[in-house]
Amino acid sequence: MDGNGRWAKERGLKRIDGHKKGAERISDVLEGAMECGIKYITLYAFSSENWNRPKTEVDALMKLLAGAVEKYGSKLIQNKVRFLTIGDLSALPPKTRQKIEALKQSTKDFSALTLVMALNYGSRDEMARAVSSIAQDAIDGRINPKSISWETISQKLDTAGVPDPDFLIRTSGEMRLSNYLMMQAAYAELYFTRTYWPDFTKEEFIRAIDEYKMRERRYGLTADQIRNK
Ligand code: IPE
Ligand code: MG
């Protein structure tokens, strides 16, 4: 969800106004996802590097996050959306964390759609935590280092139990992954649009999904192999 700051600047507004407008767009993509029959959607809301932004912006984002969990929580329950997070929540303000945990708990049995929020998330941080946990398992004799496979690692990532993304959208014209789902997106189809996140409507989301449907996914095979399957 990129481009909130530039969206605001172009309108002579404050960066936080862009973040507020951006938060409103979340319901658009959730509606779009439900209409398209998508089962999992992950939103990169706050990265492990975003803490380095000016304190006023970080504080405002934290406040917005707490408010959004409160505001959209009942909407998620109404629509039977399961709420999950990835990232290290231990660094979030305790009250926000409590609200997040409560929402996870009250939506845990829903399966219509799963919304995963990446909060204080970064692939490198996630990998470091996973490796640390695997190393501890090895020391404690729960795992044989020779038997470690991608499966072992993926079960230790924050995304354990969540399927790998098929499609990755980045708004605002930036063409990079910025430490987002680096391993999980190994075979994801990438989609970049110049549209700033606050302008990314449900219609545009559905257009992106329509483009995804045209892509041929080969997973290292040849086009002939895929077509003759
Ligand atoms: C993305 O918008 C939202 C967050 C990282 C929270 P930006 O804040 O990165 O917007 P730009 O890139 O400055 O336009
Ligand atoms: Mg940005």
From the CA of 1, give the closest atom in ligand 1.
Answer: 1
**CA atoms of 35 and 12, how far apart (whole Å):** 35
Q: What is the separation, in whole angstroms, between the first and last Cα of the chain?
A: 36
Q: Which ligand is nearest to the CA of 57?
A: 1
Structure confidence at residue 225 (pLDDT): 94
pLDDT at 155: 98
Mean pLDDT across the chain: 97
How far apart are the CA of 16 and the centre of ligand 1, in A?
10
In the annotation, is 224 catalytic?
no
pLDDT in tens, 23-54: 999 999 999 999 999 999 999 999 999 999 99
Asked if pLDDT for residue 2 goes beyond 90, the answer is yes
Q: Of the listed 50, 88, 164, 166, which one is catalytic? A: 50
At residue 229, does pLDDT exceed 90? no
Ligand 1 atom at minimum distance from 6 CA: 14
What is the model's pLDDT at position 171?
98
For residue 182, pLDDT over 90 is answered with yes
What pTM was estimated for this model as a whole?
A: 0.96
Distance, in Å, from the CA atom of 204 to the CA atom of 224, rounded to the nearest integer, reads 32
Q: Which amino acid is at 37?
A: G
Average pLDDT over residues 65-77: 94
Active-site hit among 2, 4, 120, 158: 2
Q: Is 224 exposed, middle or buried (0-12, 13-18, 19+ CB in 10 A)?
A: exposed
